[in-house]
């Protein structure tokens, strides 16, 4: 008591007692409320994803007292989940481990029961080939007239889907040389039940992206066809008007038709790999690529670069060096 440790022991006892009644769902909710990323609160989409992990994938533990979740129970859950969806299983397990780490730090549990060896390791997916320049041309040819500029900016600017669909007329400016500059200050996200929300770009990656001059004519034509100079008008609105965002399912349906007509198997998001890889091939530094794509981690930036398939071209350069 003279050392002042009795108060700490009493607090620890109270936390341990709370762990006997607090459920995983309650502790996970507290964890979400305290969660931050890059100093900012977690996005609604991330919060929703974490909540689904608990209520859907970990429902057998959701209403169980946090102290009752043992290592053996977690191992049994891991085995029963199976490996049909390995990426999702790894994400759910990592979230559970983070929640239990928070519970350990708070004194609710004595140990972290998530001890499945290698379960939290990131699963490396097979690297998919990026679109070729021929496929990129086909994508632009197949795109609806009102969205050709959108796919051109996606292919050569590397913007995220939510960033593309929140672009407004004020976000496009043109310098003296005729090059268009895109200002990425916001992004749209799609929440459950059709709710659309505008927020800052992912990782707070506000930035300016210069587009190749070869796109200037297409973008100028798009701005002319818009028929408005309202700076707040969406560049790519949904079904008339200039204030209605594309629903996620609607833009995905457009992309599905383009994929079917071009034979390109990648996702709309994979066009960022095309943009990042081609920008790297110009000799851009890793920092320059990160700034262009809006990344704050070099490992993430590397995921958006692929083998360009130009081995014969590079070997040909070696021949001239002999």
Find the mean pLDDT for residues 202-208: 89
Compute the distance between CA of residue 162 and CA of residue 154 in angstroms, rounded to an integer. 11
User: Which of 234, 244, 146, 153 has the alpha carbon at shortest distance from 194?
Assistant: 244
pTM for this predicted structure: 0.79
Kindly state whether residue 119 falls inside one of the protein's structural domains.
Answer: no
Whether 137 and 23 share a structural domain: no
Distance, CA of 291 to CA of 306 (rounded, Å): 18
Enclosing domain of residue 285: 133-309
> Which of 105, 125, 151 delimits the end of a domain?
105
Report if residue 115 sits inside a domain: no
- Structural domains of the chain, count: 2
SS3 276: helix
Query: Does one domain contain both 144 and 200?
Result: yes
Residue 270 φ then ψ, to 5°: -70, -10
Residue 257 and residue 139 share a domain? yes
Residues 99 and 137 placed together within one structural domain of the fold: no
Residue 118 lies in a domain: no
**122 confidence band (pLDDT: 50, 70, 90):** low
Share of the chain above pLDDT 90, in %: 68
Residues 219 and 73 in one domain: no
Same domain for 165 and 95: no
Same domain, 301 and 211: yes
CATH of the domain at 264: 1.10.443.10
What are the phi and psi torsion angles at 299 (to 5°)? -65, -40
47 vs 161: CA distance, rounded Å: 20
pLDDT value of residue 126: 59
Residues 152 and 275 in one domain: yes
Query: Does a structural domain hold residue 68?
Result: yes
Among 242, 235, 100, residue whose Cα is nearest residue 180 = 235
Residue 128 lies in a domain: no
Return the bridge partners of 119, or none.
Answer: none
pLDDT digits (tens, 9 = 90+) for 150-168: 999 999 999 999 999 999 9
């Amino acid at each position: 008591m003279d050392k002042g440790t009795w108060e700490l022991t009493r607090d620890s006892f109270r936390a341990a007692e709370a762990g006997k009644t607090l459920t995983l769902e309650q502790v996970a909710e507290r964890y979400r409320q305290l969660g931050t990323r890059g100093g900012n609160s977690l996005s609604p989409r991330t919060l929703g994803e974490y909540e689904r992990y608990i209520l859907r994938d970990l429902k057998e533990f959701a209403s169980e007292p946090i102290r009752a979740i043992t290592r053996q129970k977690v191992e049994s859950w891991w085995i029963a989940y199976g490996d049909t969806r390995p990426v999702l299983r790894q994400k759910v397990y990592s979230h559970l481990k983070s929640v239990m780490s928070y519970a350990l730090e708070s004194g609710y549990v004595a140990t972290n029961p998530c001890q499945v060896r290698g379960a939290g390791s990131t699963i490396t997916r097979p690297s998919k080939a990026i679109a070729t320049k021929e496929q990129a041309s086909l994508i632009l040819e197949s795109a609806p007239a009102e969205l050709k500029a959108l796919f051109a900016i996606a292919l050569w600017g590397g913007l995220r889907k939510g960033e593309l669909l929140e672009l407004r007329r004020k976000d496009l400016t043109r310098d003296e040389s005729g090059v268009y500059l895109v200002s990425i200050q916001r992004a749209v996200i799609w929440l459950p039940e059709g709710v659309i929300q505008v927020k800052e770009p992912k990782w707070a990656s506000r930035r300016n992206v210069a587009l190749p001059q070869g796109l200037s004519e297409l973008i100028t034509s798009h701005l002319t066809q818009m028929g408005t100079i309202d700076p707040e008008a969406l560049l790519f609105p949904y079904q008339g008007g200039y204030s209605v965002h594309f629903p996620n399912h609607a833009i995905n349906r457009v992309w599905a038709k383009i994929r079917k007509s071009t034979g390109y198997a990648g996702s709309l998001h994979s066009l960022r790999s095309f943009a990042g890889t081609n920008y790297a091939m110009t000799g851009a530094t890793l920092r320059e690529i990160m700034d262009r794509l809006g990344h704050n981690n070099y490992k993430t930036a590397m995921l958006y670069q692929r083998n360009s398939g130009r081995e014969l071209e590079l070997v040909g350069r070696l021949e001239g060096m002999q």
